[in-house]
Amino acid sequence: MVGDFLLVGLNGMTWAMAVFLVAAGLTLIFGILHILNFSHGGFVMIGAYLTYTLINQTSGPTGIFVFLAVAVLCAAVVGVLGYVIDRTVFERLKAVDDSYSLIATYAMLILCEGGVKLVWGPDFIALPPPAGLDGALLLGDLFIPSYSLFVILSGIVVFLVLDFWIHRTRSGKVMQSVALDPWMANVLGININAMFTTAVVAGFALAGLAGGLLAPNQSLSPGLGGTYIIQAFGVIIVGGIGNVRGAFIAALVLGMIDAFGTVYVPEYPGIFFYIAVAGILMYRPQGLLSGIR
Amino acid sequence: MSRGQNTSSTTSAANAAILAAALVFATLPLWADKGLVFLAGIVMVQIVFAVSFNLMFGLTGLVSFGQAAFFAAGAYTAAWLGRAVPELPFLIFCLAGGLVGALLALLIGVVALRRASGIYFAILTLALGQLVYTLIGKSDALGREDGLVGIKRPVIDLFVGTLDLSIGDRYYYFLLVACGILLGLLWWVWHGQLGRLLAALRQDAERIRFFGVNVRRYREIAFIISGGVTALAGALVAPWSQIITPAIAHWSYSALPILFCLLGGASRFWGPAVGAIVFAGLEYATRTMVGVSELIVGGALLVVVLAMPGGIVGTLSLLARKLTKNGKERLNEQSA
């Protein structure tokens, strides 16, 4: 009984950290630029597909360090893509209405899907976890996939690094000031355009990293971007858009509610996520935490 | 908005275009193949879907990202009733579908319009729409993921006799008339007193509140009308496609009317209609190219949103105004 309880909690935790990995870059970009990037899930998907291709280039069983190196490389590639998109698209979206930027980035999600279909084909692709993460740990009578632990650990590490950057470093503090009052930051001699670009590149790199780390988590298909983005939307809006800590807490809360809800009402899996999102937003429309902090 | 003296010529050009489009739709079964006729029927329904959505979006200024929930509510209600009580007249099914959609809009509106606005409203309606999607996809009575299949085209009792809509292109003409009536209704709402009030809400809700108007109630009314007409469109589509699946409740289906509105121009009544037709044309032209289709549709959308903020209709009318202005100036110069 206790074992079952723990296992459900572990599933919820794995889901939460996977979605947090996707949501982190999304909420970062919104926090600074106030653009809700619909295409974020598409770039996570591109990161995952890139990882698949790169890992298939290496011969023999992939070790965990090769896997991590590939994920970081994908983060860099998607980060560069982010730079290009910042110059060509986001530059023009700063002045327009929220709904317009939502649809412009939705158009980019469609472009991502088209690109993935062209390059990798429309069929499902599976990537096995790397050697060392394909087994399971036995804790008493509890059977824990080691890849789940890896996803949980990755989520926590990414959160700690981001949180340290935003709250404990100079550049993070500067970023906060730009988010709060770009005009004043500009007057104080901060190059706000450089900060905007940094945020976008960092956000996209996080998307690429998430894609790389999560690639073995599920089978890859061109619809993956849409699936990712909807869950990430729920998480960042409940957390308070733009707030990384909020997103982390919201991911945990929603992950647990959904995991336990699915145990008690197995006929409708996934429904508790939406109920929880709607319910929490009813009472806290601005989300659990607000602002970039 | 200031109106120049050339408005009448732009308006008559627009009227001519609407008339031409209506004529094309009306004569389509005479010269086009079956696939195209089917597509045209879907496009007509999607036009009603998009224009009713635009009552919230273009007119009232609220982005609802769960509009597909109403469409699906209408379609599933009508199709399910058609199975449960086939002896009742078809129009009852449609009206019931619209009613269920309006009730659902009332429910979602009460939740979503209470405090949320802007992007929060969009995400909240998205979450609630996905809730409806999940419920439909997991419900045995509604056929789970497979949906409802083999929906019959109805026989309508006209008192003087019966009209069997399952023969030939009859249901297409029925759709044409029904969509025309619904568009007429929406036109009346958009241009009437309610429409003007909603437009004022979009421009300055705070000021309207000071005039003593209950802003939230009027937003709810707009949401209910929008949801109800969308559901009616859904009820009409079920016998046309003869199969409905949970895909019509999915969030990507909710994105369609937003796409049509921005593509065509959300500030005009006919903008979403133009968007729906252009979008269908793009998809039809690229239907066989896997991947390329998405690239073209996504690329076109991105270009329109970035370069033509008024959509196709907005840009065309801007162009027309510039052209007629130049022409008049040149005429004036000549006469001088």
pLDDT for B332 equals: 67
Please report the residues numbered 33 through 62 in chain A whose beta carbons come closer than 8 angstroms to any beta carbon of chain B: 36
pLDDT for B33 equals: 85
pLDDT for B205 equals: 85
Q: Which residues contact A241 (CB under 8 A, 6 or more apart)?
A: A27, A30, A31, A36, A287, B119
Our measurement of the distance from residue B262's CA atom to the centroid of its chain's CA atoms, rounded to an integer in Å, reads 12
Cα of B283 to nearest chain A Cα, Å: 13
Q: Do A89 and B302 touch (CB under 8 A)?
A: yes
Contact list, A98 vs chain B (CB under 8 Å): 63, 118-119, 122
Task: Dump pLDDT digits (tens) for A233-290.
Answer: 889 988 888 889 999 999 999 999 989 888 888 877 778 898 898 888 878 877 888 6
Put residue A200 in one of left, alpha, beta given phi > 0 → left and psi -120 to 50 → alpha.
alpha
Contact list, B111 vs chain A (CB under 8 Å): 278, 282
Question: Is the overall model pTM greater than 0.95, yes or no?
Answer: no
Q: Do B111 and A36 touch (CB under 8 A)?
A: no
Contact list, B120 vs chain A (CB under 8 Å): 237, 281, 285-286
pLDDT for B67 equals: 93
Please report the residues numbered 220 through 239 in chain A whose beta carbons come closer than 8 angstroms to any beta carbon of chain B: 226, 230, 233-234, 237
Taking the CA atoms of residue A9, residue A13, residue A14 and residue A19 in that order, the dihedral angle to the nearest 10 degrees is: 140
- HEC readout, A238-252: HHCCCCHHHHHHHHH
Q: Do B302 and A108 touch (CB under 8 A)?
A: yes
Residue A242 to residues A35, A199, B76, B124: CA-CA distances in angstroms? Answer: 10, 11, 38, 17
Pull the structure tokens for residue A125: 């692709």
Contact list, B63 vs chain A (CB under 8 Å): 98-99, 102
Task: Dump pLDDT digits (tens) for B93-113.
Answer: 999 999 999 999 999 988 888
Report residue B1's pLDDT band, with 50, 70 and 90 as the boundaries.
very low
Q: Do B258 and A268 touch (CB under 8 A)?
A: no
Selected residue of B126, B144, B305 to mutate for chain A interface (largest A Cβ count, 10 A): B305
pLDDT for B154 equals: 78
DSSP, collapsed to helix, strand or coil, labels residue A121 as coil
Please report the residues numbered 131 through 170 in chain A whose beta carbons come closer than 8 angstroms to any beta carbon of chain B: none
Contact list, A239 vs chain B (CB under 8 Å): none
Q: Do A278 and B128 touch (CB under 8 A)?
A: yes
Decide the pairing of beta strands B155-157 and A136-139: unpaired
Report residue B77's pLDDT band, with 50, 70 and 90 as the boundaries.
very high
- Interface ipTM: 0.83
Supply angle C-alpha B159, B175, B310, rounded to 5. 145
The residue-averaged pLDDT of B54-62 equals 88
Q: Do B138 and A102 touch (CB under 8 A)?
A: no
Our measurement of the distance from residue A25's CA atom to the centroid of its chain's CA atoms, rounded to an integer in Å, reads 6
Whether A194 and chain B come into contact, CB under 8 Å, resolves to: no
The residue-averaged pLDDT of B38-51 equals 93
pLDDT for B127 equals: 86
pLDDT for B273 equals: 93
Count of pairs with CB atoms under 8 A, one residue in A, one in B: 124
Cα of A50 to nearest chain B Cα, Å: 17
Which one, of B225, B229, B244, lies nearest residue B178 by Cα?
B229
The secondary structure of B241-262 as a DSSP string is HSEE-GGGGSHHHHHHHHHHHH
Taking the CA atoms of residue B127, residue B129, residue B131 and residue B132 in that order, the dihedral angle to the nearest 10 degrees is: 170
- B135, B251, B291 member nearest A268 (Cβ): B135
Taking the CA atoms of residue A292, residue A25, residue B294 and residue B172 in that order, the dihedral angle to the nearest 10 degrees is: -50
pLDDT, mean over chain B: 85
Q: How far apart are CA A224 and CA A232, in angstroms?
A: 12
Which residues of chain A carry a pLDDT beneath 70?
A: 1-2, 60-61, 290-293
Please report the residues numbered 237 through 276 in chain B whose beta carbons come closer than 8 angstroms to any beta carbon of chain A: 251-252, 255, 258-259, 262
Selected residue of B113, B295, B304 to mutate for chain A interface (largest A Cβ count, 10 A): B295
Please report the residues numbered 170 through 209 in chain B whose beta carbons come closer than 8 angstroms to any beta carbon of chain A: none
Cα of B120 to nearest chain A Cα, Å: 7
Q: Do A106 and B255 touch (CB under 8 A)?
A: yes
Q: Do A99 and B138 touch (CB under 8 A)?
A: no
Contact list, B305 vs chain A (CB under 8 Å): 100, 103-104, 107
Task: Dump pLDDT digits (tens) for B128-155.
Answer: 898 899 899 888 888 788 888 877 777 7
pLDDT for A267 equals: 77
Domain ranges for chain A: 2-222
Q: How far apart are CA B179 and CA B43, in angstroms?
A: 10
Q: Do A285 and B309 touch (CB under 8 A)?
A: no
Domain ranges for chain B: 7-335
pLDDT for B105 equals: 94
Q: Residue A138 forms beta bridges with which residues?
A: A143
Pull the structure tokens for residue A126: 């599976």
Residue B282 to residues A24, B17, B211, B287, B311: CA-CA distances in angstroms? Answer: 35, 19, 46, 8, 16
Whether B308 and chain A come into contact, CB under 8 Å, resolves to: no
Whether B145 and chain A come into contact, CB under 8 Å, resolves to: no
Any idea which of A141-155, B273-287, B320-334 has the lowest mean pLDDT? B320-334
pLDDT for B4 equals: 44
Q: Do B111 and A278 touch (CB under 8 A)?
A: yes
Contact list, B297 vs chain A (CB under 8 Å): 110, 114
pLDDT for A202 equals: 94
